[in-house]
Amino acid sequence: MQAAIEIEKLDKVYKGEKGQPDKHALKGIDLSVPAGSIFGLLGPNGAGKSTCINILAGLVNKTSGRASIWGFDIDANPRNAKASIGVVPQELTFDAFFTPREMLELQAGMYGVKGAGRRTEELLKAVRLEDQADAYARTLSGGMKRRLLVAKAMVHDPPVLILDEPTAGVDIELRQQLWMYVRELNARGVTVVLTTHYLEEAEELCDEIAIINHGEVVACEPTPQLLRRIDEKEIIIDVAETLDAVPEALARFHASLVTPNRLAIQMSRETTCVGAVLDAALKTELTINDISTNETDLEDIFLQLTGSEG
């Protein structure tokens, strides 16, 4: 499959000022984003995600390495590369005295989109802002402004869309609406690159996920494969009796006593049979009130790979 974005040995060093040390923001990263995919770019604050995005958008100059967007090298063909990408920034930046319709028309003009090729009304409707099309931007809610940014990024119909923390600080309903529209764009062939702090979003939406930490790519795999990295399941058993120790029948499963009425058993799906655990629990002759499981999710893997504590 053609790569929508190719990054090879991309390096960025910010020079320190007034005796401060240089900051090595990107350390020779390699990434390939498949065309037509939804690609997650995750990492802690300061990991290098925004630097990478800003280099692709032409807002930051790289120190070394190469990058191409839709087959266009950002150095050799900067105009075509920029025309192939739309970026939705994390910050809400607007001219307070422009209306959404005026903003989209102006943005289209800046990309050289002629009258017949402009999609202002279509985009306003797609992001559900047709009723606010002629209202001043300063009167829009935060969620409306976020949707307007998505529309601005799509005025020139780019094949690649980058969303930098698009749902930060927005309510659940808006988040669902935004993802519905992103899925529609992806279904029409738009490649989407997403950065987010909501790991459950990345787990649900992304075909492939790269995790960046301290300027380096520490993982880049299809989402199901990444989730298999930690093959653990936790079984929680709530009992009616008050316990002061783990029952002998469950000791061989490395059970632990979470509370006097709750046992936790860490198990590998590869090596431990759930049926064996349940049989052993029944042999204890305890009164079992409830049994539940906790599955590995993306947050577990993220914390393990980045060493984050929260």
The pLDDT of residue 234 is above 90: no
- 57 in Cβ contact with 166 (< 8 Å): no
Candidates 258, 279, 277; CA nearest to 269 is 277
284 against 93, higher pLDDT: 284
Residues 258/202, Cβ–Cβ less than 8 Å: no
Residue 187 CB partners (closer than 8 Å, separation 6+)? none
- For the chain, the helix, strand and coil percentages under 3-state DSSP, each to the nearest 5: 35, 30, 35
Look over the chain and give the mean of its residue pLDDT values, rounded to a whole number.
87
Segment 193-228, tens digit of pLDDT: 998 877 778 888 999 999 898 899 988 999 888 877
Mean per-residue pLDDT, 146-165: 91
Measure the CA–CA gap between 182 and 191, rounded to whole angstroms: 10
Q: Which residues of the chain form CATH 3.30.70? A: 232-296
Q: Give tens-digit pLDDT for 273-296.
A: 778 888 888 888 889 999 887 765
How far apart are alpha carbons 282 and 201 in whole angstroms?
Answer: 38
> Is 232-296 in CATH node 2.60.40?
no
| Angle, CA of 292, 298 and 299, to the nearest 5° | 85
CATH 3.40.50.300 assigned to 3-227 = yes
Q: Is the pLDDT of residue 230 over 80?
A: no
Q: Using a pLDDT cut of 90, give the percent of the chain over it.
A: 47
pLDDT of residue 309: 46
Residue limits of CATH 3.40.50.300 in the chain: 3-227
Looking at residue 298, its pLDDT comes to 62
Q: Give the residue from 210, 228, 230 showing the smallest Cα distance to 218.
A: 210
CA angle 101, 191, 211 (to 5 degrees): 115
At 196 the three-state DSSP class reads coil
Asked whether 226 and 301 are in contact (CB, 8 A), the reply is: yes
Q: How far apart are CA 216 and CA 233, in angstroms?
A: 29
| Distance from C-alpha of 206 to C-alpha of 38, rounded to nearest angstrom | 5
